[in-house]
Structure 1
Amino acid sequence: MAERLLDILGFTASAVLMLLPIPLVIATRPPTALRVLIFALQLQLANWGNKTFTLEDTFITYSLGCLYYGWPLFTAIHFYFLTDPLTDGTRHIYDTKPAKDMSLPQRIWWATCLVASFRGVGWNKPVPHLRQIPKGQSRTSYLVEHFLWLVFYFVVNDLVNLYITHNPITSSRAAERFPAWSQGPIFQALNSYAYWGNIWSGFNIQYELLAMAGVALGLWEPQLWPPMFGSFWDAYTVRRTWGRVWHCILRRFIISHGKWVANAIGAVPGTKASSYAQLYTAFIVSGLMHEVGDRQLNRSFGQSMSFFILQALWITFEDGIIGLGKRLGIKESRATRALGGLTTFVWFAATSPVLMKVMSDNGKPIAPSFPVSPIGAAWKALGLEEKQVIPWPEPHY
């Protein structure tokens, strides 16, 4: 395999080229043959960039592979072949006329805003289950509240990064490629939730900074910047965790692909056949998008996909258990939600290492999100650096 280029500018430039055609296609709606040709060129560019670029940090290389190449490809399929926003009634809340009646420059800008709105916030077709900002909340109140949330996300991010950068299997002994389960079940759970906590807090930090800047400058109303993720109070089944808490930024094209597949196999809307066709399509699409990240790290096909297929299989089983409980007369209550939340917690602790192995197999330490750790610096300043040492267990394969 040819040596990869350590080039963040080239990496990012290729991603920009991936995205540029999408608003133009939406705004002009060329013939199908031309849309197929444009998509084929994007696919070729993604294939080239996916096997050409790398970065020093394993986690960022994986994440940007998914974001720079996987996300644009499925977004392109959504807008090129599965929907036509110019004719299907798609509108922004500030639109004064249908997009098809706008001038070409206006349509291109309109389409650019549509693509940039991953979740459809501010549009008449938002993805389902988004949390809402109260209609009466002022800019000042929003900024104060979300500044406090931003501080909280920074603290969470700092804590999980301290854990990751001090755990031998993700730092000093990363070259030995120990999987997340190699330190026993307790540390497997800690490793799993440190991984998800790093993603969750990192995305939220970036999102809150953008939201606060946009609201403070008067560019957007607070209501156009609802929380990025759903509430963890909804995470009492694996289905709800993915559908209401986590998958929000992918749901636009996940839903359209799922509905297309269900329709293609003749499943009647509202039936179990349609529901499960959409469920499995959703996780296959998500798996394929994450497989792009695998390939960015030179991993063989199937590692990320295995994790996402496991989620669909468990949800199928979970639905059966819930259905059985209903037939036995068991009603949803605080007790059932608590049991479901515990089961969901254990499930992700058990299966997350399958996905995390993509990165541990790369054999490089996970770099911290920020160059300085405020908590680590304070701990050191108080002379406590050597006073509290986590008894890391000896890892084993």
Structure 2
Amino acid sequence: MDVESRPRLSIFPFFALLQTCLACLLALSPRRPGRIAGSVVLATLVAAAYCCTTGEAPRDYSIGNLIMIQVFTAYLLLWLVNPVHEYRHEHDYTAATKLPFVRRVWWLLCIINNPRGVGWSYEVAHLPTRPSSPKWTFVVHKLLSALRWYLFLDLAQTYNQSPLRSIYDSAGGPQAYLMRPISIIARFSSLVGLLALENSLAAATSVALGITTPREWPDIYGHWSDAYTVRRFWGRTYHQLLRRLTASCGKACCRALGLRPGTRASSYTQLYVGFAVSGFLHCGGDLMVSPYLFGTSFPFFMSQAVAITFEDAIIGIVRRSGVKIPLNLAHFAGYAWAITWLCISAPLYVNWSLLISLTVPSVTTAFVGSVATVMKSLGLVH
């Protein structure tokens, strides 16, 4: 079914309904039959959403990813943990079971929308340092951060749309390989930059209005200087927003297989399951763009697990050999390897988009389009 023939998805009402239904279900703490019935209702809502479109293929991909994230979040909270009994926030003064129903639903909505668990008992590992700066210092810092990300996005997308990129992409020889990292960074900047831009603006607004405190807004990414291996790039720098889902599913698989924590079998099971989960999340974007593209994002993420396995083997060989490598040289070699691998593997994720000629809108167009979509969903415009 093509984009034009599918009904339009009302984004804001859909996510509000899906999350409210999930929060109400969790607040009731139903037994197994109730959870099964609730899961069927949620699955029906999700299936209906995947039959719709936002009207633009790039936005379909993003919304499809978000819907699949909600699916895995529902699975985690309904079947792998019992948040009402197991989760606590650092500011909780009473057990969730003793809260009025409406308050409990709001408490659960906060859990659903806090994938990193900042301030919660399920806070993910390797979270960036929580800010301790004064309120207005933090607000100014986040606004400056948003400006930097905006300029980065605008520069990258200017390069994406310039004749210079076409010349280098079509050219052969050494110059094509030298420019490939820049082209890949520019292509991925839309996702990386928009997430950081939105996070910075949300943090500045929330803290300025007194809704939250600076401590609740650690950086959305870890330090880029830590990404001197492929494992550290994904585990400590970039993959922050998906860590709750990937880690929880990986640990659940290890428990099901009877693998002891800390063993090599447990570690690599979590590694491959984690990237499989990440791959399936992005397959949600494939599915919403077109059913024929479902699964095309998956090989890229599984290839990262394979690369990390190879990387661990090399590091292990070097350590066992007793060769002493200066730290600066080791880090330089690590950065070179990580960048090279990402350049090699990126086409697995990027090239599929060329099948439908996906184009990334400018920052301003994307922002205005998102606002317009929300306003239409609320019935404010037609």
Question: How does the TM-score come out when normalised to structure 1?
Answer: 0.85
Deviations 1:332-351 (A, max 9, x none): 71211111011101111111
Structure 1 CA distance for aligned equivalents of residues 297 and 161 of structure 2: 23
Instruction: Quote the RMSD (CA, aligned, Å).
Output: 2.6
Matched, 1:189 2:189: no
Pick closer, same or farther for the CA change 1:43–1:167 going to 2, 3 Å.
Answer: farther
Structure 2 CA distance for aligned equivalents of residues 331 and 341 of structure 1: 15
Structure 1 CA distance for aligned equivalents of residues 358 and 188 of structure 2: 19
Pick closer, same or farther for the CA change 1:11–1:150 going to 2, 3 Å.
Answer: closer
C-alpha deviation, 1:60, in angstroms: 2.2
Structure 2 CA distance for aligned equivalents of residues 236 and 48 of structure 1: 42
Pick closer, same or farther for the CA change 1:169–1:145 going to 2, 3 Å.
Answer: closer
Please say if residues 165 and 367 of structure 1, whose CA atoms lie closer than 8 Å, have aligned partners that are also in contact: no
Please say if residues 22 and 79 of structure 1, whose CA atoms lie closer than 8 Å, have aligned partners that are also in contact: no
C-alpha deviation, 1:303, in angstroms: 1.4
SS in 2 for 1:130: coil
Pick closer, same or farther for the CA change 1:53–1:102 going to 2, 3 Å.
Answer: same
Deviations 1:100-132 (A, max 9, x none): 222212211111111111210121321111112
What does residue 380 of structure 2 align with? none
Matched, 1:345 2:342: no
What does residue 126 of structure 1 align with? 123
AA at the equivalent of 2:308: I
Which one of the candidate residues 137, 140, 143 is aligned to 2:139? 143
Which one of the candidate residues 84, 95, 106 is aligned to 1:98? 95
SS in 2 for 1:358: helix
SS in 1 for 2:137: helix
Matched, 1:292 2:284: yes
AA at the equivalent of 2:49: G
SS in 1 for 2:10: helix
C-alpha deviation, 1:302, in angstroms: 2.7
SS in 1 for 2:83: coil
Alignment size in residue pairs: 362
Structure 1 CA distance for aligned equivalents of residues 297 and 358 of structure 2: 18
User: Which runs of 5 or more structure 2 residues have no equivalent in the other structure?
Assistant: 368-382
Structure 1 CA distance for aligned equivalents of residues 153 and 163 of structure 2: 15
Q: How does 1:160-175 map to 2 (within 5 A)?
A: 160-166=156-162
C-alpha deviation, 1:20, in angstroms: 2.2
Matched, 1:83 2:76: no
What does residue 299 of structure 2 align with? 306
Structure 1 CA distance for aligned equivalents of residues 12 and 4 of structure 2: 15
SS in 1 for 2:186: helix
Structure 2 CA distance for aligned equivalents of residues 84 and 332 of structure 1: 48
Pick closer, same or farther for the CA change 1:270–1:190 going to 2, 3 Å.
Answer: same
C-alpha deviation, 1:190, in angstroms: 2.4
C-alpha deviation, 1:70, in angstroms: 0.5
Please say if residues 215 and 221 of structure 1, whose CA atoms lie closer than 8 Å, have aligned partners that are also in contact: yes
Matched, 1:369 2:368: no
Q: Which has the higher helix share?
A: 2
Please say if residues 159 and 186 of structure 2, whose CA atoms lie closer than 8 Å, have aligned partners that are also in contact: yes
Deviations 1:145-198 (A, max 9, x none): 22221111111011011112225989xxxxxxx99x999434432221112222
Q: How does 1:99-248 map to 2 (within 5 A)?
A: 99-135=96-132, 137-166=133-162, 184-248=176-240
SS in 2 for 1:44: helix
SS in 1 for 2:182: helix
Please say if residues 190 and 360 of structure 2, whose CA atoms lie closer than 8 Å, have aligned partners that are also in contact: no
Question: How does the TM-score come out when normalised to structure 2?
Answer: 0.88
Please say if residues 235 and 341 of structure 1, whose CA atoms lie closer than 8 Å, have aligned partners that are also in contact: yes
Structure 2 CA distance for aligned equivalents of residues 157 and 301 of structure 1: 28
Structure 2 CA distance for aligned equivalents of residues 83 and 4 of structure 1: 41
C-alpha deviation, 1:22, in angstroms: 2.0
AA at the equivalent of 1:292: G
Structure 2 CA distance for aligned equivalents of residues 310 and 100 of structure 1: 43
Between 1:14-23 and 1:144-153, the stretch displaced more is: 14-23
SS in 1 for 2:85: coil
What does residue 59 of structure 1 align with? 58
Pick closer, same or farther for the CA change 1:242–1:217 going to 2, 3 Å.
Answer: same
Structure 1 CA distance for aligned equivalents of residues 210 and 193 of structure 2: 25
Pick closer, same or farther for the CA change 1:12–1:144 going to 2, 3 Å.
Answer: closer
Structure 2 CA distance for aligned equivalents of residues 160 and 246 of structure 1: 18
Structure 2 CA distance for aligned equivalents of residues 264 and 276 of structure 1: 15
What does residue 24 of structure 2 align with? 24
Deviation beyond 6 Å, 4+ runs, structure 1 = none
AA at the equivalent of 1:94: H
What does residue 370 of structure 2 align with? none
User: Which runs of 5 or more structure 1 residues have no equivalent in the other structure?
Assistant: 171-177, 374-397
Please say if residues 131 and 217 of structure 2, whose CA atoms lie closer than 8 Å, have aligned partners that are also in contact: no
Structure 1 CA distance for aligned equivalents of residues 39 and 281 of structure 2: 16
AA at the equivalent of 1:19: Q
Pick closer, same or farther for the CA change 1:6–1:195 going to 2, 3 Å.
Answer: farther
SS in 2 for 1:230: coil
AA at the equivalent of 2:182: L
SS in 1 for 2:360: coil
C-alpha deviation, 1:4, in angstroms: 4.7
C-alpha deviation, 1:352, in angstroms: 1.1
Between 1:303-312 and 1:142-151, the stretch displaced more is: 142-151
What does residue 10 of structure 2 align with? 10
C-alpha deviation, 1:301, in angstroms: 3.1
Pick closer, same or farther for the CA change 1:218–1:247 going to 2, 3 Å.
Answer: same
Structure 2 CA distance for aligned equivalents of residues 46 and 354 of structure 1: 27
